[in-house]
Chain A
Amino acid sequence: MRLGRGHPVQRTPDLTPMVDVIFLLIVFFLAAARLEQDRREPVDLPMQAGETEQNRREGLVLTLLADGTLRIAGVSRDIEALPALLAEASRDGMPSVTLRANREVDVVVIDRVIRLLARSGVPGVEMAVSPGGDS
């Protein structure tokens, strides 16, 4: 019996797993970037059609939770500290303000926030709503 050694076969590496990994990384970074952009606290906004599209890239976003807690960029803040925060934020001009308030929040809290904003020089407030019906 002769066990002849043949020539070693030169195998080309399979590129499929590498392509898979690259696409997975691309999808991951795209999804992560999108999540970063939309990173807003979930709030039960008033269910109304609204007037305008929200400007999501600029300005200050104030979130009022159902219990009246004010949150800015994910951090709970004292409502009375708003003027100081606005003074700091308005060094390069007064930012536009979007108020994302839970639909069950007492309007007393809303009015308190609006009064503080107005006294700080904020000319107007965008009230965020969620399209989907009357509430």
Chain B
Amino acid sequence: MNFSRRRPDPVASPSLSSLIDVVFLLLAYFVLTAAFALPERSLTPAISVDGQGADASAEVEPQVVQVRAQSGQVVYQLGAQSHSTLDALRAALRKLPQDPGLVIKAEPGTPFGAGAGAIQAGRDVGFQDITWSADGEPS
């Protein structure tokens, strides 16, 4: 009878290559998807067309912000006041009552970004009722 003791198996160390592969692949996936996820948001003004806007039946006269481009500079006209920056427009809008709402009218030649800025300024100071006026020359 042979009672010789078997030698214990050497401790097998697990191969880490697969684990590292998987970790790097997951890392690559999340990096890629994070880069592709473009954060877009929306502005949702009411629309006024042919003089029929969201507040056409309102009894109070809405306050109008005229947006126009003068020699490459955007001007926001609020009544008799002209403002050249959105911060100045926000400061002026804060002094106005919000119940009558706000109408944004952009003149031809004005870049859309300036009009969107006026909508944003109105929202920033708390106007709920903002209307984009597309009452210009009909096409």
Residues of A with C-beta under 8 A to B37: 34, 38
B17 to chain A, nearest CB (A): 6
Q: A118 to B134, Cβ gap below 8 A?
A: yes
A96 to chain B, nearest CB (A): 10
- Binary B-proximity of A116-135 (CB < 8 A = 1, otherwise 0): 11110000111111110011
Of A4-12, A42-50, A69-77, the one with at least 4 CB within 8 A of chain B? A42-50
Q: A23 to B112, Cβ gap below 8 A?
A: no
Interface residue tally for chain B (C-beta within 8 Å): 47
* Contacts between chains A and B (CB distance < 8 A), count: 160
Interface residue tally for chain A (C-beta within 8 Å): 56
- Binary A-proximity of B99-139 (CB < 8 A = 1, otherwise 0): 00000001111111101110110011000000010101011
B107 to chain A, nearest CB (A): 7
C-alpha spacing A125/B110, complex, angstroms: 19
Q: A129 to B134, Cβ gap below 8 A?
A: no
Instruction: Give A residues with C-beta under 8 Å from B.
Output: 15-16, 19-20, 23-24, 27, 30-31, 34-35, 38, 40, 45-54, 56, 64, 80, 98, 100-112, 114-119, 124-131, 134-135
Question: Can you list 16 A-B pairs with a CB-CB distance of less than 8 A?
Answer: A16-B21, A19-B18, A27-B25, A30-B33, A31-B33, A34-B36, A48-B43, A49-B41, A50-B40, A50-B42, A51-B123, A80-B139, A127-B42, A127-B43, A129-B40, A134-B120
